[in-house]
Structures are given as structure tokens and as C-alpha cells.
Amino acid sequence: MEEKKTGGDVFLRRLKWTALAVLAAIIAWQAVPFGLRLLTSEKAEPRAVTPRGDLAADEKGTIDLFERSKDAVVFITTTQRVMEYWSRNIFTIPRGAGSGFVWDDKGHIVTNFHVIAGAAEARVRLSDGKEHTAALVGASPMHDLAVLRIDTGVKRAPLPLGTSADLKVGQKVFAIGNPFGLDWTLTTGIVSALDRSLKGEDGGVIQHLIQTDAAINPGNSGGPLLDSAGRLIGVNTAIYSPSGASAGVGFAVPVDTVNRVVPQLIAKGRYARPALGIEVDQRVNETAAEQLGLKGVLVLSVRAGSGAQAAGLVGARFDRDGAFVPGDVITKVEGKAVDSVPGLLSRLDDFRPGDKVRLTILRQGKEEEHVVMLQAEGASEGAAQ
């Protein structure tokens, strides 16, 4: 007959096995070489720090540039309003974030148009951590630029202004912004190329862009691009990347463009681009180039009282039989070739209303030159030039 085990017997058996396990561990420890046991019990102290010495001259320069510039850089967050489908209630939700910088001592902030496009509200955070609600002063989608204004009693020194016409490929550049919301981040690189073109948010083409390999990521948009003297030379606007993160190809709107557009946005709320006073259309231009072999920009019509009319430009027309008769074809502006409507707009954008420009045109197979005084384009821009 099997003997019945009590709770006490089970407890004693477990105690025995526990004691055996402890004994085995002690035997194993005794088997470890004495030298190894000595190392594990040795007292360790932190290592002495090796004196670094002075920073390199270029490091000092970079640190000084950042310290002098960071207070003029701001962090911009935007919100939008949406309607809940069933309740019809309006909610405010985060829309995006970007960067900007102080333009003057009157509270004007420059950023990219695409940073604030479609937003119901924008808030600007300064380097001291304080946030301010911003008002939109003006915007130019064709340059991807916008101006905000904040009311603050604390005046911030604007960034020193540089030039972009004399930039050279290979010179050092510095970008300050808020990539991925990581505020006041400095990245460095060089000017990789000049006079690049990029399709803008409005479908147009942004011209004369600076290309740089300084790391520019989402959130850097609207931040300043600086030269080694700490001067503003561009506004970081976009990256070229299949992944959406920096791939070493970033673009900035050149400061010469910024310095021409921003004062108009502050004064008038919009950019009145210089115009010839003619009607043009890219789709018609492409058709004419394909069917008629024309290279240039076809003048569809000339506005009465415009500089183009005064200079004697001739628009296209239909003859008595309804056949299309091409007018003048603009092939060059101040000696620089143009072969599309965006190309023409870009060349004219280098000038101001009131300037006179020399056009090379093709009329009935013969090349002629005409000087046209530019005028400010009206509020209704359309395809007019």
C-alpha cells in the first residue's frame, strides 16, 4: 500500500533541493580561477579627463555665428479648422510646423508661403520660449515667401543682410531651423549649385534657387541660410528626397529675391511683378512650338496703353479665312534666351516696374530688338505679362 505524503514531507523535500542548489553554486564559484575573482572585486575609479586645449578657429567661428543668429530665428506652428461630419461642430487641429526669422524691429517675420498656406492660425515661438499669435501681412506663392507680424514689446535684432548674386559654388553655408520640431538646430554645408528651378505649391516654377548640401529637413522650411559672415543669403524652402528626409539636396530662395519681394508684401500685402503688358499662355505656347516650330514665347495680344504697345510689339491674330497668324515671338530678354512662359516670367522678375528691358523678337522670320518699359502687373495676374 502506497504511503500517503503529508504537507510537511513536501516542504522538507523542497528545502533539501534548495540546499543542494546553493551548495552546487558555491562549488562552482570555488572552481573559478582566483585571478578572475580578484578582477571582479577590484575597485574602479573614473578616468582622468584629458585637457582638450583651445577650439579650432573654424569651430569658434561656427559657434559665434550660431550664438549671434539664433535669437532672430523663430519656430512657427499652424492650425486649421475642420468640421466634424455628424455633429457639424468645428474643431481646431494642428496643421504643421516650420521656421522663420525676424526681418525688422517692427515684428515682421519672414517664412515660406507653404508653411502657412491653408492655415487658420499661426503661432510664433521666440528663442526665449514665449509664443505669440501671428497675423498674415502678405504672401507671394510664386516665390514661396510670406510675411507674418507679431506684437511683442521685445525687439529682436534682424539678421544682417547679404547678397546672393555673388555666391560661388563651394562656399560654406549654415542653416538654422526647427527640423522635425527639434528647435534651433544648426546644420552646415556648402553651396552645391546656383540658379536652380523648382515647381512651387501653386504649380508655378520658382526660379534662381540656391542648391545646398546643408541638411534641410521638414520643419526647416522658412528658416535662414547664412554665409560664413552670418549674413542672410537665402530662405530654405525645399528638399529633393525620395524618402522625405534630407538627401543632401536642399534649396533656398536667394536673398536678392527676398529683398525685392518682402518690402512689397509689407507695404501692399502682395507682390506686383513687373510686366510687359502682353497676353501669353504656356499651353498655347507649347502647341505653337510643336506645330509651328517656334522657339520662344508667342505674344497672343498686346494691352492698350502698355509698354509693349508703346514699343510696337504685335500680337497674334486670325486672318479673313480664320487661319491663325502668329504675332511676335520673344526669344531673349537682355540677351538671355527664353523658351517658355515661366522662363519669361523669371527673366522679367529680375527687374522692377519702371525699368526698361531690351527684348529680342522674331517677326515674320526676321530678328528685331525692341526696348519695353515694364509696368506693375495688376491685381488680376492670370496669364498676362
- CATH T-level fold of 172-268: Thrombin, subunit H (2.40.10)
114 is catalytic: yes
Please determine, for residue 3, whether its predicted confidence score (pLDDT) is greater than 70. no
Tell me which of 192, 221, 306, 346 is the catalytic residue: 221
144 is catalytic: yes
Domain borders along the chain are 73-149, 172-268, 274-376
Decide which of 232 and 206 is more confident: 232
Cα separations in angstroms, 266 against 103, 146, 156, 260: 10, 10, 18, 11
Please determine, for residue 380, whether its predicted confidence score (pLDDT) is greater than 50. no
Q: CB within 8 A of 102, min separation 6: which ones?
A: 72, 73, 74, 108, 109, 156, 157, 158, 159
Q: What is the mean pLDDT of residues 257-264?
A: 93
**Average model confidence (pLDDT) across the chain:** 83
Query: Residue with C-alpha cell 512689397?
Result: 264
Task: Please list the residues that pair with 248 across neighbouring strands.
Answer: none
> 382 pLDDT band (50/70/90 cuts)?
very low
Q: Is 291 helix (H, G, I), strand (E, B) or coil?
A: helix
pLDDT for the residue 381: 40
* pLDDT tens by residue, 74-91: 999 888 776 665 566 655
Tell me which of 69, 99, 144, 370 is the catalytic residue: 144
Mark out the alpha helices in 243-379 (DSSP H runs): 255-268, 282-292, 307-310, 341-348
* pLDDT tens by residue, 175-188: 999 888 788 899 99
* pLDDT tens by residue, 133-164: 999 999 998 889 999 999 877 678 899 999 99
Instruction: Identify how many contiguous H helices and E strands the chain contains and give both numbers.
Output: 8, 23
Cα first-last separation, the chain: 113
pLDDT for the residue 379: 34
- Contact between 251 and 240 under an 8 Å Cβ cutoff? The reply is yes
pLDDT for the residue 290: 83
CA separation for the pair 13, 86 (Å, rounded): 69
Q: What CATH number should be reported for the domain whose range is 73-149?
A: 2.40.10.10
Please determine, for residue 219, whether its predicted confidence score (pLDDT) is greater than 70. yes
* pLDDT tens by residue, 100-133: 999 998 999 999 999 998 888 889 999 888 889 9
The contacts found for 298-305 with CB under 8 angstroms, 24 or more apart, are: 298/326, 298/327, 298/329, 299/327, 299/328, 299/329, 299/330, 299/361, 300/327, 301/327, 302/277, 302/278, 303/277, 303/278, 303/279, 303/384, 305/277
127 is catalytic: no
Tell me which of 69, 99, 114, 349 is the catalytic residue: 114
Judge if 73-149 and 274-376 fold alike in CATH terms.
no
Q: What's the grid cell of residue 275?
A: 510686366
Query: Residue with C-alpha cell 546672393?
Result: 164
CATH H superfamily, domain 274-376: PDZ domain (2.30.42.10)
**pTM as predicted:** 0.74
Sign of the alpha-carbon dihedral angle for 58, 63, 68, 72: positive
Cα separations in angstroms, 173 against 111, 358, 381: 19, 35, 35
